[in-house]
């Protein structure tokens, strides 16, 4: 019997099978940010075990609240900063060089096909876009990962999601994943990996694949995985060109992390995305999804473009295409957070930042920002935000506030209109 | 080992997420104790008032997919510092469930019929549960009556509970 991608990765990283289907696996990298890491650091210090399994394999960033907004967040920053220094963690990204973890770590070339990665952040599933097994974990798993370089999981079961057809103009990876979550439900993939395959995924850029995999967790999935291909190799080439003779050689090596033809799946679901329209959430769970046309006219108070889901350069380009020469509605506050300094720089050079500012958007530094209502962009009780982020839980962006999840194109159009509406990029 | 006995808090809603268990605005805290006043602050449904209903409770009984959303271990910690070490539900989100056992706490699944029965028979009563970990039994007491429900716990989960959590277990074994 053949193997799925996750099975291949697990078998290549096997450490122990202590009970039943529990596999302890070796970690290629442990990613850390300033919200979930400090408690692990303090506990390691208290245990007299203030060390890391391999400083080169630990990557850390301050991204959730940056610049620090108060004494408490300043202390969180200080704890991770001092810890990185003490433990000789070279890949630590502090203010001025920091960005949203799931955007900056791939951008730095830290994710490779076949890797195992954990982070104290549920959207770690994003990195599966590169053909890696990457899973969000809690602080205790993170602590053991930092100390021992291992983590325990149930041996993975996989749903294969075959997305066929060609996406219509103005319909993006965000619309695809919202539609999938709407079908699977918020626990439709719990304890399972989702392999995303099919013509739509094959044609997607790495940025789009990251958007797709980012929200696997919203269906309960442990990780979303795309198969490595030439897009993956092209993206990684600046980081791997000294490891392989040619891109073809790299591709041959990465083939190892594509599934076997006779792999056994828990479920195989085929979706024809050829007729998909832009999607939006209407409730307080990410699986409450409708076509934008059915929500047209719903007023919003704020529009937020950014986050680990949709704060990458392609997202900003699409939004700018909609916003170019337009002004956002007087009734709307527009906020955009380019996800990393490199993305911010590209957006500057391409004139995208100017388009946002001319339209009336506030441009913030790279940060998780408004997404989880921890730092900037918090909405008031009863207010509504149209957002390119990943969660619409009640109060997520501020106590008593509501969030509608959507694509960057829809968010930009919504900012101009002042109410939820389809972008001009979508003609149907 | 932690205490798994005491009064029950019934939460009659599916998909209670970690933002509802502990809102992100409190994730700036770096001690577990500081989370105590904020447990379930954003959970809103008829028949639940966090200010009145949490006090004195040691066990939560709830529906499916409890703890979905963020990976924040602050959710189990907020339960723990309020004296709640045991959740009984139809199902859990993966990360939350693992976080519970990683802290030496328990997130036990019961079949939907058992959960339905517990809600139907006990949710309107002052209910106490005693956990018999040796025999995998919950002994449920209300109105002077006693009922038993058996549960299953995997070898790994039991090992984590007995070790007091994953750090101690992993430190010993890896």
Q: In terms of domains, do A264 and A293 share one?
A: no
Q: In terms of domains, do A255 and A328 share one?
A: no
Q: Is B62 on the interface with A (CB under 8 A)?
A: no
Average pLDDT over residues A160-181: 97
pLDDT at A1 over 90: no
- Under a CB-based contact definition with an 8 Å cutoff, are residues A141 and B166 in contact? yes
In a domain, A379, yes or no: yes
Which is nearest to A272 in space by CA: A347, A164, A411? A164
Range of the domain at A413: 282-417
Q: Is B167 on the interface with A (CB under 8 A)?
A: yes
For position B148, what pLDDT does the model report?
97
Shortest distance between the Cα of B94 and any Cα of chain A, in A, equals: 6
pLDDT at A428 over 70: no
- Taking residue B148's Cβ as centre, other Cβ atoms within 10 Å add up to 11
Sequential DSSP letters for A270-302: EEEGGG---EEE-SSSTT-EEEHHHHTT-B-SE
Q: In terms of domains, do A232 and A330 share one?
A: no
Range of the domain at B65: 6-173
Q: Is the dihedral of CA B75, B81, B83, B85 positive or negative?
A: positive
Edge to edge, the sheet with strand A29-33 lists A92-93, A58-61, A29-33, A116-119, A133-136
- What is the value of ipTM here, to two decimals? 0.96
**Probe site for chain A from B17, B23, B24, B157 (most A CB atoms < 10 A):** B24
pLDDT at A369 over 70: yes
Which is nearest to A224 in space by CA: A163, A145, A284, A283? A163
Whichever domain contains A399, its CATH number is 3.30.499.10
Count of domains in chain A? Answer: 2
CB A38 to CB B30 under 8 A?
Answer: yes
For the segment A199-249, what is each residue's pLDDT rounded down to a tens digit? Answer: 999 999 999 999 999 999 999 999 999 999 999 999 999 999 999 999 999
Count CA atoms closer than 13 A to A393's CA, side-chain side: 26
Q: In terms of domains, do A56 and A166 share one?
A: yes
Spell out the residues 6+ positions from residue B166 whose beta carbon is closer than 8 angstroms to its own: A140, A141, A144, A152, B101, B102, B160
With residues binned 3-state (H G I as helix, E B as strand, rest as coil), the percentages for chain A, rounded to 5, are 40, 20, 40
Domain end, chosen from A241, A271, A301, is at A271
Whichever domain contains B150, its CATH number is 3.20.19.10
What CA–CA distances, in Å, run from B2 to A16, A145, A219, A224, B161?
27, 24, 32, 35, 8
Domain end, chosen from A236, A271, A306, is at A271
**Cα separation of A26 and A101, whole Å?**
21
For position A172, what pLDDT does the model report?
98
Q: In terms of domains, do A397 and A328 share one?
A: yes
- Under a CB-based contact definition with an 8 Å cutoff, are residues A32 and A146 in contact? yes
Spell out the residues 6+ positions from residue A339 whose beta carbon is closer than 8 angstroms to its own: A99, A100, A103, A104, A306, A307, A308, A311, A312, A366
- Taking residue B51's Cβ as centre, other Cβ atoms within 10 Å add up to 9
At A427, is the pLDDT very low, low, confident or very high (cuts 50, 70, 90)? confident
Q: In terms of domains, do A184 and A43 share one?
A: yes
Shortest distance between the Cα of A394 and any Cα of chain B, in A, equals: 8
For the segment A171-206, what is each residue's pLDDT rounded down to a tens digit? Answer: 999 999 999 999 999 999 999 999 999 999 999 999
**Cα separation of B79 and B162, whole Å?**
19
Task: Per residue of chain B (174 residues), give pLDDT as tens.
Answer: 999 999 999 999 999 999 999 999 999 999 999 999 999 999 999 989 999 999 999 999 999 999 999 999 999 999 999 999 999 999 999 999 999 999 999 999 999 999 999 999 999 999 999 999 999 999 999 999 999 999 999 999 999 999 999 999 999 999
pLDDT at A61 over 90: yes
pLDDT at A141 over 70: yes
In a domain, B72, yes or no: yes
CB A374 to CB B27 under 8 A?
Answer: yes
Query: If you measure CA to CA, which chain B residue comes closest to A73?
Result: B28
Q: What is the DSSP letter of A419?
A: B
Q: Is the pTM of this model over 0.80?
A: yes
Count of domains in chain B? Answer: 1
In a domain, B58, yes or no: yes
For the segment A243-271, what is each residue's pLDDT rounded down to a tens digit? Answer: 999 999 999 999 999 999 999 999 999 99
3-state secondary structure of B56: coil
At A100, is the pLDDT very low, low, confident or very high (cuts 50, 70, 90)? very high
């Amino acid at each position: 019997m053949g193997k799925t991608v996750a099975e291949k990765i697990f078998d290549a990283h096997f450490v122990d099978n202590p009970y039943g289907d529990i596999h302890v696996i070796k970690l290629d990298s442990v990613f850390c940010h300033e919200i979930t890491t400090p408690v692990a650091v303090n506990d390691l210090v208290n245990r007299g075990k203030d060390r890391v399994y391999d400083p080169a394999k630990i990557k850390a960033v301050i991204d959730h609240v940056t610049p620090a907004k108060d004494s408490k967040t300043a202390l969180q920053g200080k704890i991770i900063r001092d810890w990185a220094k003490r433990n000789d963690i070279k890949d630590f990204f502090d203010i001025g060089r920091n960005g949203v973890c799931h955007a900056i770590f791939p951008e730095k070339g830290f994710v490779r096909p076949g890797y195992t990665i954990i982070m104290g952040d549920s959207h770690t599933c994003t990195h599966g876009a590169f053909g890696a097994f990457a899973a969000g974990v809690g602080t205790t798993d993170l602590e053991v990962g930092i100390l021992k370089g291992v983590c325990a999981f149930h041996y993975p079961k996989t749903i294969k999601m075959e997305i066929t057809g060609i996406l219509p103009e103005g319909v993006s990876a965000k619309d695809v994943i919202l539609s999938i979550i709407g079908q699977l439900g918020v626990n439709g993939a719990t304890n399972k990996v989702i392999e995303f395959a099919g013509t739509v995924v094959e044609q997607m850029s790495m940025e789009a694949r990251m958007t797709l995999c980012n929200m696997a967790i919203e269906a309960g999935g442990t990780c979303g995985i795309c198969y490595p291909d030439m897009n993956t190799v092209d993206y990684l080439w600046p980081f791997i060109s000294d490891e392989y003779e040619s891109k073809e050689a790299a591709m041959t090596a990465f083939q190892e992390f594509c599934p076997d033809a006779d792999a056994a799946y828990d479920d195989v679901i085929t979706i024809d995305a050829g007729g998909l329209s832009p999607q939006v959430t209407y409730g307080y769970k990410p699986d409450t999804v409708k076509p934008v046309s059915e929500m047209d006219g719903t007023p919003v108070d704020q529009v937020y473009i950014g986050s680990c889901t949709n704060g990458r350069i392609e997202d900003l380009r699409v939004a700018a295409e909609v916003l170019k020469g337009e002004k956002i509605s007087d009734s709307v506050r527009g906020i955009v957070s380019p996800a990393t300094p490199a993305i911010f720089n590209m957006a500057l050079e391409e004139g995208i930042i100017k388009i946002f500012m001319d339209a009336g958007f506030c441009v913030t530094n790279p940060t998780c920002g408004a997404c989880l209502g921890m730092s900037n962009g918090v909405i008031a009780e009863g207010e509504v935000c149209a957002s390119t982020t990943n969660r619409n839980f009640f109060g997520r962006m501020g106590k008593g506030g509501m969030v509608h999840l959507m694509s960057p194109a829809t968010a930009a159009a919504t900012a101009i209109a002042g109410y939820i509406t389809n972008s001009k990029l979508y003609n149907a | 080992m932690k205490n798994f006995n005491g009064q029950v808090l019934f939460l009659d809603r599916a998909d209670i997420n970690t933002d509802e268990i502990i809102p992100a605005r409190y994730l700036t805290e770096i001690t577990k104790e500081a989370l105590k006043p904020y447990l379930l602050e954003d959970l809103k449904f008829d028949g639940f008032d966090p200010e009145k209903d949490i006090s004195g409770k040691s066990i939560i009984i709830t529906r499916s997919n409890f703890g979905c959303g963020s990976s924040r271990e602050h959710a189990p910690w907020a339960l723990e510092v309020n004296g709640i070490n045991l959740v009984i539900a139809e199902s859990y989100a993966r990360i939350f469930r693992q976080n519970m056992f990683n802290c030496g706490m328990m997130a036990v699944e019961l079949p939907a019929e058992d959960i339905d029965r517990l809600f139907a028979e006990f949710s309107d009563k002052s209910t106490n549960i005693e956990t018999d970990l040796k025999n995998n039994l919950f002994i449920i007491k209300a109105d002077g009556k006693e009922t038993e429900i058996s549960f299953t716990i995997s070898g790994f989960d039991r090992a984590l509970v007995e070790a007091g959590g994953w750090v101690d277990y992993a430190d010993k074994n890896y």
